[in-house]
A and B are shown apart, each in its own frame.
Chain A
């Protein structure tokens, strides 16, 4: 019997979505106030003041080689650990709509397609199809450790 795992589906554009583990979602913010940091990579030009800390905000559109997110976006704060027993760290993702709770089925697993963005490949744990859309499960710790441009 195939195994199913609960996860959050995060949509960043009509044709771009990715998934994180259920336990990694910390807070969904509908109207975030973002702070601009000059001279930063285009996929992360803002930070968020969140619970007495300053956390980076990622626009996944640009890592998927699509146009940048437009205004009126939402934010999901996500927790990760660099390794077991390490303190929790946080990063925020710009979303185009509210996150959706889903069940990921092992039978839906798919191969990483050739056209998948090179910059994101080191951070992909697995790929599956959900609603006929390719959906990545991302290693947030790897992604947050820095992106190596093409």
Chain B
């Protein structure tokens, strides 16, 4: 039986906020900016601001502990991380309190999401650990799809109201 994880990346960028550590492959990272680079004008309904990067306006998203989108940045947020989608116009940014680089040395310590915890709508593709910290592994594409589904749901709620 093949227990290898469905997550091919080992060089990660860790975004920490609200007591969780969300990780993207390092090659998904466009830029790391400070909080003061954020424009509070929103480009999408569920975003909490805008980051201008190379003349492109990236929607900035703020998550809480449950990975629910927040309307505004939170007090701990110090960094804004530009996330590069394979389709340039789908790139976005995520707020975090701390950011670090991390190399997964031993993938045997990582696991796919266990079958009984599976949620097809979740952007979390696998789990790993760094000392006593749980790492939630995601990619730009899966996180974009998750955010897009939340934005669509929000639009439908408004139309049905």
Within 8 A of A (CB), among B88-130: 108-111, 113-119, 121-124, 127-129
Cα(A82)–Cα(B3), bound, Å: 12
Within 8 A of B (CB), among A55-92: 55-56, 58, 82, 86-87, 91
* Chain B residues whose C-beta falls within 8 Å of the C-beta of A147 in the assembled complex: 116
Interface size on A, residues (CB 8 A): 27
Cα(A134)–Cα(B27), bound, Å: 54
Contacting residue for A144 out of B65, B109, B114, B127, CB 8 A: B114
Contacting residue for A56 out of B116, B121, B128, B132, CB 8 A: B116
Q: Interface centre among B109, B114, B119, B124, by most A CB within 10 Å?
A: B114
Contacting residue for A145 out of B113, B116, B122, CB 8 A: B116
Q: Interface centre among A54, A87, A145, by most B CB within 10 Å?
A: A54
A116 on interface, CB distance cutoff 8 Å: no
Contacting residue for A38 out of B1, B109, B115, B124, CB 8 A: B124
Cα(A140)–Cα(B13), bound, Å: 36
Contacting residue for A41 out of B109, B117, B129, CB 8 A: B117
* Chain A residues whose C-beta falls within 8 Å of the C-beta of B3 in the assembled complex: 87
A38 touches B67 (CB 8 A): yes
A39 touches B119 (CB 8 A): yes
A145 touches B117 (CB 8 A): no
* Chain A residues whose C-beta falls within 8 Å of the C-beta of B65 in the assembled complex: 36, 38
- Return the chain A residue nearest B121 by Cβ: A39
Nearest-Cβ distance from residue A124 to partner chain B, whole angstroms: 16
Within 8 A of B (CB), among A24-68: 33, 35-41, 43-44, 47, 49, 52-56, 58
* Chain A residues whose C-beta falls within 8 Å of the C-beta of B116 in the assembled complex: 41, 43-44, 56, 58, 91, 143-147
* Chain A residues whose C-beta falls within 8 Å of the C-beta of B136 in the assembled complex: 37-38
Digit string of B64-75 for contact with A (CB within 8 Å is 1, else 0)? 011100000000
Digit string of A133-146 for contact with B (CB within 8 Å is 1, else 0)? 00000000001111
Digit string of B60-89 for contact with A (CB within 8 Å is 1, else 0)? 000001110000000000000000000000
* Chain B residues whose C-beta falls within 8 Å of the C-beta of A40 in the assembled complex: 113, 117, 119, 122
B1 touches A37 (CB 8 A): no
Contacting residue for A47 out of B19, B123, B134, CB 8 A: B134
5 extra interface residue pairs, beta carbon distance < 8 Å, beyond A39-B121, A41-B116, A53-B109 = A39-B122, A39-B124, A44-B117, A52-B108, A54-B127
The residues of B with any CB-CB pair to A shorter than 8 Å are 1, 3, 19-20, 65-67, 108-111, 113-119, 121-124, 127-129, 132, 134, 136
The residues of A with any CB-CB pair to B shorter than 8 Å are 33, 35-41, 43-44, 47, 49, 52-56, 58, 82, 86-87, 91, 143-147
